[in-house]
Structure 1
Amino acid sequence: MKLTFPHPIIILLSFIFISGAATYFIPSGSYERVLDENTGREIVVPGSYKVLPDVDVSLVDMLVSIPDGIVARADVLVLILLLGGAFFVIEKTGALKAGIESLIYTFRSNPQILFYILGIFCALCGAVFYMSEEFIGLMPVLILLANKTRYDLRAIVCISVGSSILGAAFSPFNPFGSLLAMDIAQVDPAEGIVFRILFLLVALILWVFYHIRYGKSKSVNEQAEEVQKPQITWAHRVILALMLSGIGFMVYGVAIQGWDYNQMGILFFVIGFACGLVGGLGLNGTARTFSAGFSEMIFAGVIIGLAQAIYLILNQGMAIDPIIHGLFQPLEQLPNQVAILGLYLSQALIHIPVPSASGQAVLTMPLVTPLIDLLGMSRQIGVLSYQYPTTLMDMMTPTNGTIMAILAAANIKYNHWVAYLWKSWLLLMAISLIAVFSGYLWFS
């Protein structure tokens, strides 16, 4: 029988039962927590750990934790459904494809300018809604761009798909990553926006420059295709304007007005319906497309719920604080910089068996947050040490189904992809690690 890598749901179900079994072996314990009047958050009191009477989680409780976990993260699930459904509608109107084709045609004689514009556009989409699956349908356009500019297709995929992943990794507003982690860590999303945007810009500029510099195809293709003028209608223009306005308004709402998930979700629910009507889908067609988008996004919501179930089990068995205590003791005598490096590398490795960034946030941030408190560092460091390596691993790890589907659509073998990518990927990882260490000084 051929062995295959387990499905993410199987992986998380395994963790659920492993967590339940672990409560029978991990002695229950707890730290004392007090309310910090300056931040309004509960923080762990150093040195207050004590062993408590042992609590074991039964098999029935393990099973019940699955729906409980989904219910507990209902706010995130609703945002994912509304946001994902809206962009599914936008994609189905053809506006997104037409916009990218129009960019390619307009700057067909100046590919370097085009690459920077394409990188910025994709990074913006990645930063706000982590555009990923949409690239599968855009692959014929990207292949055409590679042929026209005589660039290696892998470089074009990096400038487009890679920039979207980069944008999601460095974003202050990615609801599937940074916002979720900040919510769990009880960190104000408006705090550190300037810091994150600065490193986003630095990383993006260096990323695109690298692939412009080293992505030129070494073989000359005499049969390079000519870019045809795209058919971009007034409806496409209005839809793209609505989408970009919505992104800008969401950034304003989160940064200035302190919006939560519900306000972000309803904004794009309205924009999605408006785009569907402008795009000629009609009321029923827009509703059906939204429904199809919901079905595409429900998997991500279930993954988040399963990851939350793991936390609920460990919390019920009073095993979280003992785990933190076990992690903290070896780190206590180490410099904070070494502890930060350990957290960064741990999050990167965890993302291989847990390929959902949102699921990993729910799984690890409840453990990282009190650990960061005990180390005397800002919780922003815990968020950054999760946010950067977790999402950047999506470019490299074969457990990420979306990147593998994109490579298949582009007819790029995984080993050829890694052979081209690894140097620039290490550059991004280095920049993000510098960002985490810089955050240690910035937020101290």
Structure 2
Amino acid sequence: MKKFPNAIVIILSVILFAWILTFIIPQGSYERTLNETTELTSVVPDSYQQEELPHLSVFDLLLAIPKGIVGRADLVVLILLLGGCFYLIEKTGALQQGLNQLIVILAGKESLALVIISLLFITGGFTIGLQEEIIAMTPILLLFGRSIGYNANTIVSSSLGSAIVGSSFSPFNPFGVVIAQKEAGLELLSGYEFRLIVLAIASLVWIFYILQYSRKNRIEKSVQKIVTEKLSFRNKLILMLLAITFSIVTYGLISLNWGYNEMSACFFVLALTCGCIAGFSLNKTTEIYIGGFKEMVFAALIIGLANGVSVILKEGMIIDTIVYGLFGPLQHLPPALSAVLMMVSHSILHFPMPSTSGHAILTMPILSPLSDLIGLSRQICVLAYQYGAIMMDLIVPTNGATMAVIALAGTNYKNWLKFIVKPVLIMMGIGALAILIAVQIGYS
């Protein structure tokens, strides 16, 4: 039996397929306007027109690969710097000693550990849209999981999966809900009460599913020497600084409009500081830090390559045609059916448009007036985007973060799909039910 393609081969295949589609799908585009105040580019509704332009050449196909990596340069840098930071902290012994303490404390309470991990990442998802940052944490999470008898699927679903569930059902995800509401002309964070209720239900179901799966798929606990002495002062200080840095980054993302570069700077400083606290020389600190880069290069490359798909579809002038074809027919259907199919259409569109914020900016200006025409509130239009698009981050091979995490976990994409499709469909079922209830109660 042939070995299933790895993440890079899959993404390169998708890039090739996207290029072939540019010869099949008619070219076309919407007009766009730039808001000089917010610096956001919006799509003008009802402005779609087909165009006849030269098709992308084979050389354009090849150029999409470096262009995709350059286009995600800030995220690639974050993955390298954050990964190097965690690698250096691991070499100080602080993470191992802290991990040993956790294993001792949680002995016989493995299910509680899984619930805590899931809740932490759900919180990270619904507050700051945590996703790519999990890549650097994955090796440590997997080590912890093996030490308490959980396989890779359990750990990835309780970390990355929980974060994406939190992001999808969030009342105020800054990269999802806030941008979508802004583009839909809604008051920011309006309608959060209904979203909070649905988030609570979805989170409980998700955690219950993970617990059920983990009980049926336990693995033998990895044998390792458990050092039970108390944390040293140096290691306590290092772990405390790690927690403080995450708190600062969270505040910056929510309140200071920070991006990946600001996060990268914070973790770069943290790494150098922790090296000094551990007693490493500056030479040794930087050498270990660079060693951490090597661990993350594969994941960073996947992130950049995945962006190549969007480059092809945009330069091939077919992404707007896909949007037009998916959402145009909905205006002829009953409101409740239109709302659910809008969610499904968002799920399909997320394959070629895996950027959460980019997806919202592209579709909301088109769908908001369409919702008015159908008789749906714009809040429901945003719900359809949330529940349909963001949940697909766990499935679409164009999502670099997911592909990088499962690659680090040693799981191929085929096996990951077999595991994750069922819980994602359950979550989307909850989303569809919430949308139908929203239509019935006149949620706006």
Instruction: Give the deviation of 1:53 after TM superposition.
Output: 2.5
Which SS does the other structure have where 1:361 is aligned? coil
Instruction: Give the deviation of 1:342 after TM superposition.
Output: 0.6
Greater alpha carbon shift after TM alignment, 324-333 vs 421-430: 421-430
Change (3 A) 1:104 1:313: closer
2:339 counterpart residue number: 337
Alignment partner of 1:30 is 2:33:
no
Which SS does the other structure have where 2:138 is aligned? coil
The runs of 5 or more residues in structure 1 that have no matched partner are 144-152, 351-358, 409-413
Distance 1:391 1:105 in 2: 32
How do 1:27-426 residues align onto structure 2 when only pairs under 5 Å count?
27-35=26-34, 41-106=40-105, 108=107, 116-121=115-120, 127=130, 129-130=133-134, 131-143=137-149, 153=150, 158=154, 161-171=156-166, 192=189, 203-204=202-203, 207-208=206-207, 229-334=228-333, 335=335, 336-343=338-345, 345-346=347-348, 350=351, 361-362=354-355, 366=358, 369-376=361-368, 377=378, 382=385, 384-391=387-394
1:353 counterpart residue number: none
Which SS does the other structure have where 2:42 is aligned? strand
TM-score (norm 1): 0.71
Aligned residues: 402
TM-score (norm 2): 0.71
Instruction: Give the deviation of 1:437 after TM superposition.
Output: 7.5
Q: Percent identity?
A: 31
Greater alpha carbon shift after TM alignment, 284-293 vs 34-43: 34-43
Distance 1:368 1:403 in 2: 26
What code does the residue aligned with 1:370 have?
L
Contact 1:19 1:314 in 2 (8 A): yes
**CA deviation map 1:397-437 (0-9, x unaligned):** xx9685587588xxxxx79x95xx99877655555666778
**CA deviation map 1:58-81 (0-9, x unaligned):** 111221222122212212222222
Instruction: Give the deviation of 1:50 after TM superposition.
Output: 1.6
Contact 2:245 2:267 in 1 (8 A): yes
Contact 2:340 2:384 in 1 (8 A): no
**CA deviation map 1:174-202 (0-9, x unaligned):** xxxx77778997979x9659788876666
Change (3 A) 1:323 1:427: closer
What code does the residue aligned with 1:361 have?
P
Instruction: Give the deviation of 1:56 after TM superposition.
Output: 0.8
Instruction: Give the deviation of 1:390 after TM superposition.
Output: 2.1
Distance 1:12 1:61 in 2: 17
Contact 1:132 1:402 in 2 (8 A): yes
**CA deviation map 1:313-358 (0-9, x unaligned):** 332232222222222233333444223331465378x5xxxxxxxx
The runs of 5 or more residues in structure 2 that have no matched partner are 369-377
Greater alpha carbon shift after TM alignment, 102-111 vs 41-50: 102-111
Instruction: Give the deviation of 1:270 after TM superposition.
Output: 0.9
